[in-house]
Amino acid sequence: MLGLSQVGVTVAAFCAQILLARTLPQSAFGTFSAALAVMALAAPLVVFGVSELWLQRFGLEGHAARRWVRPSLRLVGSICVGVLAAAVLWSLVGSAEPDTTTVRMLLPSVIVAQVGLTLVASAQQLRGDYRGLSVLQVAPHVGRVLVVFAAWAIGLSVVDVAAGYAVVALLTVVACVRVLRPFVAGTAQLEGHQSTEVTAITDVPVSRVVGAATPFVLGNVFYLMGIYLGTVVAAEVLGTEAAAVLAVPMAVLTAAYLVPRVVYQQYFLAKLHRWAHGDRDAVLLAYRFGTSGMIALGILVAALVALGGQLLPVLLGAEYGDSAAVLALLALAIPFRFGGAAVAALLTSGGLLRRKVVQQGIGALVLLAALAVATPLWGLRGTASATVVAEAVLCVLFWVTVRRRVVRGADLPSWRDLRQRLTRGIPSAS
């Protein structure tokens, strides 16, 4: 079901970008894409790593980890108010164009929706409700496609599109609140844990949540910088038209990046946390076959993306002629992202989270430096090349650390071991 929802999300996101690029003037599309990228970068600051913290603590403590839930929600709520206020201020002082100001005022609603979806994703994973998670993943993207289709059919402006996205975001927030209620109340059954009855629970201090979640939030920010920072830099250095040309290839790349994120963040991560504390054989299997499998899948996806990118100028028109070459360059980053996600999950679940975050910070610095040099010199091709270089550096850093810290000295499992394991099943209980 998660795989089908991933296909739905990918198709919906791609269709929305294509239709929007064909409907709006190039400068308006660039303005919209750059503003949406800023909101996407702000969302992990609001979530503050709480979703990953839930997976970690419930994997270790079971139902007793409910003591982390309410304090973490109070933290998220407080940060949300501050970030929304900052977004409104940026909207008012950041541009003299009325349409740009209005778009920036409307799109912060997307931040709240993304926060809700991220928290619900963790709650549904812990419950083992992958069907419900799949539906919630797809629904907002379908809503956006409907908004963009209406814009294409009746000629809506960029402000109207932003308003439509805001409506979809508000409906998403309402749905997320309804789904989260039983989890917050502590009445939801957790996958792999027997009872919902827990003796007296005292909530942890918010300060403790901040300390425990900080590595996760930094990791999320660094992750999203790799996706959206190029568009923001292109808009500032090369102009909104260049940002528009980059936005569609980046949307395709983002859709491809969702594959390892779904596999590990929304399916395997909770299991890896359990295996890391009692099933080393499963961890070694995840390293040996998960990593090689994800790299092979990444190479296949990269080839399909590069070939399919030749259709972009046909779909979008002559003014997007450079998009095919840009996407072909960006596709080189896909195998590195897929392989990096596989080994990074082992760092997160293996007690090496802080080391992983430091390496993500190094990758972000490499990206910033590469963008600063390559974008002014070589334009959008320089931006794409900087993205590939940063992904390659990060993948190598992750792999070296896992080899040294997680699987060093271990006898790696064979295909026969994998077949035997699959025959008897991988345990889901902690």
Tell me how many domains the chain contains. Answer: 1
> Average pLDDT over the chain, rounded to whole?
85
pLDDT of residue 13: 75
Three-state DSSP class for residue 231: helix
**Residue that has been written with the tokens 């998220």 in this structure:** 76
285-326: pLDDT as tens digits: 778 888 889 999 999 999 999 999 998 888 888 888 899 999
Rounded average pLDDT over 362-372:
95
CA distance 132 to 177: 14
Are the CB atoms for 34 and 162 separated by under 8 Å? no
pLDDT for 427 equals 45
Domain that holds residue 332: 2-424
In a domain, 375, yes or no: yes
* CA–CA distances in Å: residue 289 to residues 18, 107, 337: 36, 41, 16
DSSP conformational letter for 193: -
Q: Tell me if 303 is assigned to some domain.
A: yes
Residue 429 maps to a domain: no
Higher pLDDT, 169 or 191: 169
Residue 430, in any domain of the structure: no
- Going by the DSSP 8-state scheme, the letter that residue 188 receives in this structure is S
One-letter amino acid identity for 290?
Answer: G
Instruction: Please provide the distance, in angstroms rounded to a whole number, between the alpha carbons at the two ends of the chain.
Output: 24
- Asked if pLDDT for residue 171 goes beyond 90, the answer is yes
pLDDT tens column, 66-107: 899 999 999 999 999 999 999 888 888 866 688 889 999 999
Per-residue tokens: 136: 């919630």
Does 128 reside within a domain?
yes
Residue type for position 38: V
Residue of 219, 430, 250 lying closest to 345 (CA atoms) = 219
The answer as to whether 217 is a domain residue is yes
Q: Per the domain annotation, does 226 fall within a domain?
A: yes
pLDDT exceeds 70 at position 261 = yes
pLDDT value for 157 = 93
Provide DSSP, 385-419.
HHHHHHHHHHHHHHHHHHHHHTSTT-----HHHHH
Q: Is residue 166 part of a domain?
A: yes
